[in-house]
């Protein structure tokens, strides 16, 4: 009897099931690599195990989003319901014949992601099958499920994988400590302050995505997310208000960055910088052009943000309302440059 058999853990490294675990994760990693450069740049700055778990989370979210945004067939609701059941079962039993669900289930069980996050997430995905416009109430519920709880999922990964958060290291003295879960192996609960920051950041990213995809969401999907705002009727004053709201969310989330482990802090700061650069470009564009132009941040700029954060040379984030129109970004690009890039991501 080998050590794995003696331990009774079918997922131990020298078991056959461990190969399936690795294969399932490889599928999830491929999803992130193909779908998102912004999220991918941040993920590459994480420690290996933390990055793998973030890839598992991203892939599950992406598959659900593809059902409602890309497939959109007459049985989309049935497929989404089946996927949710499979995800829940994978978390509970530690196995699924769906590779993405299997990888997510293993990660979710390890870091403490549960129905408090997955149930509202899938509820928001169903809203995309029913609603084409939103009230303030439905918008808040949609953003909570599609973005805020995804922020909580990522926070669970950061706090329950790899290096410890600053307040848990060496009595709060700030030196890096050993990794791991608390005694007994149970995932740490999410601290209220850090969870609030994760939700605000998830909401900010989603709302920036809504602005970026304003025209495409209406033309291709028949949707208008912001309550009382139609893409064709968007004016500069309303756009400025929406941009300011996004900035306020980012500023609130920024205050919680010190609560993250060091490398998670670097990774999240990089994604914040990328999204703020995108928001600057959106803000610098006339509202009427935003309807027909999908703006993006060049890959060279994303790489520059990653390098600057990795070296500890990050610039301070401007306060909400302190927008720098036409700011030059790393890579020599100026805000407001149009792009023909297509596609929409939930993260």
Over residues 99-118, the pLDDT tens digits come to 999 999 999 999 999 999 99
Q: Are the C-beta atoms of residues 149 and 120 closer than 8 Å to each other? A: yes
Query: Worst-scoring range by mean pLDDT, 160-164, 223-227, 243-247, 294-298?
Result: 160-164
CA dihedral 252, 257, 36, 144 (to 10 degrees): -40
CATH 1.10.600.10 is held by the domain 17-167+189-339:
yes
Q: Are the C-beta atoms of residues 127 and 142 closer than 8 Å to each other? A: yes
The pLDDT value given to residue 214: 87
Q: Convert the pLDDT of each residue in 259-283 to its tens digit.
A: 999 999 999 999 999 999 999 999 9
What the block records as the tokens of 320 is: 């909400």
Rounded to 5°, the CA angle 59-109-106 comes to: 50
The pLDDT value given to residue 293: 87
Q: How confident is the model at residue 219 (pLDDT cuts 50, 70, 90)?
A: confident
What pTM does this model have?
0.84
Q: Are the C-beta atoms of residues 109 and 91 closer than 8 Å to each other? A: yes
Q: In terms of Cα–Cα distance, which of 250, 305, 321, 244 is closest to 273?
A: 305
With tokens 């290096």, the residue in question is: 163
Q: Convert the pLDDT of each residue in 112-152 to its tens digit.
A: 999 999 999 999 999 999 888 899 999 999 999 999 999 99
The pLDDT value given to residue 8: 58
């Amino acid at each position: 009897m080998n050590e794995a058999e003696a331990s009774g853990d079918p997922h131990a490294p020298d078991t056959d099931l461990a190969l399936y675990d690795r294969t399932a994760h490889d599928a999830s990693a491929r999803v992130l690599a193909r779908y998102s450069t912004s999220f991918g740049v941040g993920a590459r700055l994480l420690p290996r195990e933390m990055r793998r778990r973030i890839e598992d989370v991203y892939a599950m979210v992406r598959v659900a989003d593809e059902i409602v945004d890309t497939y959109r067939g007459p049985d989309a609701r049935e497929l989404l319901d089946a996927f949710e059941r499979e995800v829940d079962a994978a978390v509970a039993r530690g196995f699924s014949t769906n590779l993405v669900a299997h990888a997510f289930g293993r990660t979710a069980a390890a870091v403490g992601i549960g129905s408090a996050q997955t149930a509202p997430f899938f509820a928001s995905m169903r809203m995309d099958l029913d609603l084409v416009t939103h009230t303030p109430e439905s918008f808040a519920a949609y953003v909570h499920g599609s973005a805020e709880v995804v922020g909580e999922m990522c926070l669970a990964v950061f706090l329950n994988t790899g290096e410890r958060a600053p307040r848990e290291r060496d009595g709060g003295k700030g030196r890096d400590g050993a990794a791991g879960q608390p005694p007994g192996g149970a995932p740490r609960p999410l601290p209220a302050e850090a969870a609030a920051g994760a939700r605000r950041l998830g909401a900010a990213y989603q709302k920036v995505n809504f602005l970026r995809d304003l025209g495409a969401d209406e033309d291709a999907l028949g949707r208008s997310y912001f309550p009382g705002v139609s893409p064709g009727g968007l004016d500069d004053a309303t756009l400025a208000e929406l941009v300011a709201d996004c900035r306020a969310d980012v500023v609130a989330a920024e205050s919680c960055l010190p609560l993250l482990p060091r490398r998670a802090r670097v990774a999240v700061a990089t994604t914040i910088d990328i999204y703020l650069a995108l928001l600057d470009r959106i803000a610098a564009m006339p509202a009427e052009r935003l309807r027909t132009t999908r703006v993006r941040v060049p890959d060279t700029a994303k790489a520059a943000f990653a390098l600057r954060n990795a070296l500890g040379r990050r610039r301070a984030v401007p306060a909400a309302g302190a927008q720098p129109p036409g700011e030059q970004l790393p890579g020599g690009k100026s805000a407001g440059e149009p792009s023909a890039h297509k596609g929409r991501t939930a993260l």
